Amino acid sequence: MEIIETVKGGYVRNMLREGKRTGGRGMMDFRSISVRAGVMPNAEGSAQADVGDTRVLVGVKMMPEDPMPDTPDQGNMITNAELLQLAYEEYEPGPPSPESVEFARVVDRGIRAANCIDLTSLVLEDKKVWSIFIDLYVLNYGGNLFDAGYLAAMAALMNAKVPNYKDGAADHRQRDKSLKIDNIVTSATFGKIDGSVLLDMDINEERIADTRLTVAADGSVIRAMQKGLRGSLTVQEVRDMIGVSMEKHAQLKSVLETAVKEAK
Shorter beta-carbon distance to other proteins: residue 70 or 167: 70
Instruction: Give Cα separations from 108 to 81, 114, 132, 232 (angstroms).
Output: 10, 10, 11, 24
Shorter beta-carbon distance to other proteins: residue 53 or 102: 102
Give the C-alpha separation, 46 to 36, whole Å. 9
Shorter beta-carbon distance to other proteins: residue 104 or 179: 104
Q: Min. distance of Cβ 228 from other proteins in angstroms? A: 6
Shorter beta-carbon distance to other proteins: residue 114 or 256: 114
Shorter beta-carbon distance to other proteins: residue 104 or 255: 104
- CB atoms under 10 Å from CB of 66, counted, come to 11
Residues 6+ apart with CB under 8 A from 45: 37, 38, 59, 60, 156, 157, 158, 159, 160, 161, 179
Local structure of 125: helix, strand or coil: coil
Q: Min. distance of Cβ 149 from other proteins in angstroms? A: 15
Quote the distance between the C-alpha of residue 49 and its chain's center. Answer: 9
Q: Min. distance of Cβ 121 from other proteins in angstroms? A: 11
HSE, side-chain direction, 13 A CA sphere, residue 108: 17
Q: Min. distance of Cβ 233 from other proteins in angstroms? A: 4
R_g of the chain computed on alpha carbons: 19
Give the C-alpha separation, 231 to 60, whole Å. 35
Q: Min. distance of Cβ 39 from other proteins in angstroms? A: 27
Strands 129-140 and 76-83: parallel
Shorter beta-carbon distance to other proteins: residue 9 or 228: 228
Site for other proteins, rule CB under 8 A: 69-74, 96, 98-99, 101-102, 104-105, 109-110, 112-114, 120, 213, 220-235, 238-239, 242-243, 246
